[in-house]
Structure formats: structure tokens, C-alpha cells
Amino acid sequence: MRSDKRRRLERAGWRVSNTAEFLGLDAQEQRLIDLKLALAAGIRRFREKRGLTQAALAKQLGSSQSRVAKLEAGDRSVSLDLMIRSLISVGATSADIARIIRRAEVHEAA
């Protein structure tokens, strides 16, 4: 998956021959993944707290059970947009969301 990002960058025009810069991107990608995983876990926590099934949440969202399952699994195919939308739909306040994100920072240490 890393080489795929690199190819994308190279196709986009800027040379990515600078390894340090490339690894820097990789680290940022990792932080985004950590964030998504934290949000995914948060969605599940809130959903269960609300006593909702994945299908019920999906209905609220205008989505489907399978997508909610992917959401909570932190699947590569789900966007942050859908994650935040889900958190809002499941009753999380901005403060709740902020808390989840702040908590993800724990994994940021070099």
C-alpha cells in the first residue's frame, strides 16, 4: 500500500526520490489510520450504549448494515465523513468526538 501511494505521487509530478520525505508521509498516514480506528471504536461504543443494532444505525444513516460493520471495523473503504456522521447520528456531541480524537494521540509517540 505504500508503494501505491508513492506511485500516485510520482504520477502526480513531484519526484519522491527523497526517502525521508516519503517516510514522513507514511508516518502521517499512520496517524490518520490511528484516528480512524479510534473513531471506529467510538462508534461501536456509542451504538451499543444506545442499544442499537448495526442495522438500526444503518437505517438512521440511510446506509446498510454491511457498511456499518465496515465502519466499526475501521475498513479502508470508509471515509471519515461517514464516521463522523455516524458518531453524530449515534448521539455523540462535539465534545465526545473531540475526546475520542484526543485519545488517539496516545499512539502518536515517536
Partner DNA sequence: CGCTGGTATGTCATATTTGACATAGGCACT
Partner DNA sequence: AGTGCCTATGTCAAATATGACATACCAGCG
Residues forming contacts to its own copies in the complex (CB under 8 A) are 5, 8-9, 12, 14, 25, 28, 31-32, 35, 59, 62, 79-81, 84-85, 88-89, 93-95, 97-99, 101-102, 104-105, 108
105 binds, among its own copies, DNA, none (CB under 5 to 8 A by kind): its own copies
Residue 62 sits in the site that holds DNA (CB under 7 A): yes
- For DNA, the binding residue among 39, 42, 70, 89 (CB under 7 A) is 70
Is there binding between residue 36 and DNA (CB under 7 A)? no
Cα separation, 16 vs 78, whole angstroms: 27
Q: Give the whole-angstrom CA distance, residue 56 versus residue 66.
A: 12
Rounded to whole angstroms, the Cα distance separating 76 from 36 reads: 9
Choice from 3, 17, 20, 81 touching DNA (CB under 7 A)? 81
- Coil, helix or strand at residue 52: coil
Measured from the CB of residue 44, what is the shortest distance to its own copies in angstroms? 19
User: Please, are residues 71 and 78 in contact by the beta-carbon 8 Å criterion?
Assistant: yes
Residue with cell 448521539: 91
Report the amino acid identity of residue 48: E
CA distance 68 to 56: 10
Instruction: Summarize as ranges the residues that interact with DNA (CB under 7 A).
Output: 8, 11-13, 48, 53-55, 58, 61-67, 69-70, 72-73, 76-79, 81-82
